[in-house]
Amino acid sequence: SFVFAINELINGGTLLDDISGEDLFATLSKVSFEGVSGSVSFDANGDRFASYHIWNVQNGIAVEAALYASDADIITLLDGVELRWTIGTSGLTLPTAFVDCDVGFYLDSSATCQACPSGQVASSDRRSCEDCPVNTVALSDGSCGYNPLKLGMYGPVTTVTMEYVATAIMFDLDFRKNFEPDLVEQFGPPVIAIEDLNPKLRVSLQIGDSASQAEVGMATALDMFQ
């Protein structure tokens, strides 16, 4: 292969002493000839185009299962042969069990985990990404849901008193009664019923106090807006 490439460079007017590695590599990708092992040619990376036999171990025996043509990047399965995977399944598709993508990632065609675009979540088989239903968003746990509205309870007290905590719990419980029938059955109807409450509205109550320190109070207040 190198002899063919060097010969082509010399015939093109390049002196032997002036041939560089870059010239040789660039010319090598243009070389094509019939060799002892068959047709010889190279891709842009310098890898030889060739046909490869793919063997698959089945019941402890190596079986010729497919042919791979690197020039066309095509795998052709031999008639009557099915690929067997080490986890016991059969088929042409790489089992998802071989690659466990994290939440928010999907398995692309090269069996690599890729992050889903913003606003999308991975499908159940982790093979693609999909949009969340209308009026829902992609949450950090990889599911689609409703972003809760954060409401802050803030008081300039040294410690969070029992009354303070009880007020927060009562608010949370009363609001949830609007869309959780089980709570209504257990504790009765909401003290403050909200007419025409949008079923997608969720509220997360956040408690903070200053611990009698201005900087702590400021940080707590700002944190409620994050």
pLDDT at 226 exceeding the cut of 70 = no
Kindly report, residue by residue over 54-64, the tens digit of the pLDDT. Answer: 899 888 889 99
Provide the pLDDT for residue 37: 66
Provide the pLDDT for residue 55: 92
Q: What is the mean pLDDT of residues 173-192?
A: 86
Q: What is the mean pLDDT of residues 39-56?
A: 79
Higher pLDDT, 92 or 76: 76
Provide the pLDDT for residue 221: 52
Q: CB-based contacts of 56: which residues, under 8 Å, 6+ apart?
A: 62, 63, 64, 65, 66, 81, 83, 84
From 108, 139, 150, 141, select the one nearest 126 (Cα to Cα): 108
Provide the pLDDT for residue 217: 52
If you compute the radius of gyration of the chain from its CA atoms, what whole number of angstroms results? 33
Separation of CA 187 from chain center: 43
Higher pLDDT, 159 or 63: 63
Kindly report, residue by residue over 113-153, the tens digit of the pLDDT. Answer: 888 888 888 888 788 899 888 767 788 778 887 766 666 65
pTM for the structure as a whole = 0.33
Calculate the average pLDDT of the chain: 76
Looking at the DSSP bridge assignments, the partners of residue 65 are: none
Hey, what are 74's tokens? 């095509």
Separation of CA 185 from chain center: 42
